[in-house]
Amino acid sequence: MKKRILFLLTALTLSMASFAQFEQGKTYINGNISGLNAKFNGSDKWKIDLGFRGGYMVEDSWMLMGELDYNYRKYEPKTFALGAGVRYYIAENGLYLGAGAKFANHSFDGESTSDFLPNIQIGYVFFLNKSVALEPEFYYEQSLKDHSNYSNVGFRVGIGVFLDDLLKF
């Protein structure tokens, strides 16, 4: 019983500390991995993908983001993707919804195809300290080129850093 009470108090403290991080003017940097045997599509069974994101809080709870993904596979298409999106933090408790789009290039055996991938995400920000957070996220990417081979449903985990306004001069 004492462990549950301590856990609830810790969760309440962390959620209260996260309130100030979703203010206008914050800069955001994130590195993430996905796959971990939780990403399923027609062209592969298991993979680990790396991604990098950057963002800026243009209003309280609203972030504009850019992202870069690279996925290397030995016997399957390698993918390089560049995208942009928006994220909305719900009620400043760490829960967020996101939407965006990526332009991707899939290459395999010297052949290359381009693709456009609109996507949606839902995730949560667990602050480890004042500015560093663990960010689990579920996502869906819809391929407009080849739905059965390149559309993805998956889970991604990232480490995000929220910094004071770096764009102010």
* Domain count across the chain: 1
Q: What percent of the chain has pLDDT over 90?
A: 45
137 found inside a domain: yes
Quick: pLDDT tens for 14-44: 444 444 578 888 899 999 888 654 445 555 5
**Does the pLDDT value for residue 168 go beyond 80?**
no
70 found inside a domain: yes
**Residue 31 neighbours by CB under 8 Å, 6+ apart:** 50, 51, 52, 53, 158, 159
The rounded mean pLDDT for the chain is: 82
Whole-angstrom distance, CA of residue 93 vs CA of residue 96:
9
Question: Where are the strands (E) in 38-77, listed by range?
Answer: 48-59, 62-71
Quick: pLDDT tens for 96-149: 999 999 999 988 788 888 999 999 999 999 999 988 999 999 999 999 988 887
Would you give the distance in Å from CA 128 to the centre of its chain? 17
Whole-angstrom distance, CA of residue 112 vs CA of residue 163:
38
Contact 74, 118 (CB under 8 A): no
168 found inside a domain: no
169 found inside a domain: no
Quick: pLDDT tens for 56-89: 999 989 999 999 998 877 667 788 999 999 999 9
Domain that holds residue 37: 2-163
In the predicted model, what is the mean pLDDT of residues 4-20? 53
Whole-angstrom distance, CA of residue 162 vs CA of residue 24:
11
pLDDT at 2: 65
Indicate the pTM of the whole model: 0.76
> Per DSSP, what are the bridge partners of residue 48?
35
Whole-angstrom distance, CA of residue 9 vs CA of residue 120:
32
Quick: pLDDT tens for 92-101: 688 999 999 9
29: CATH: 2.40.160.20
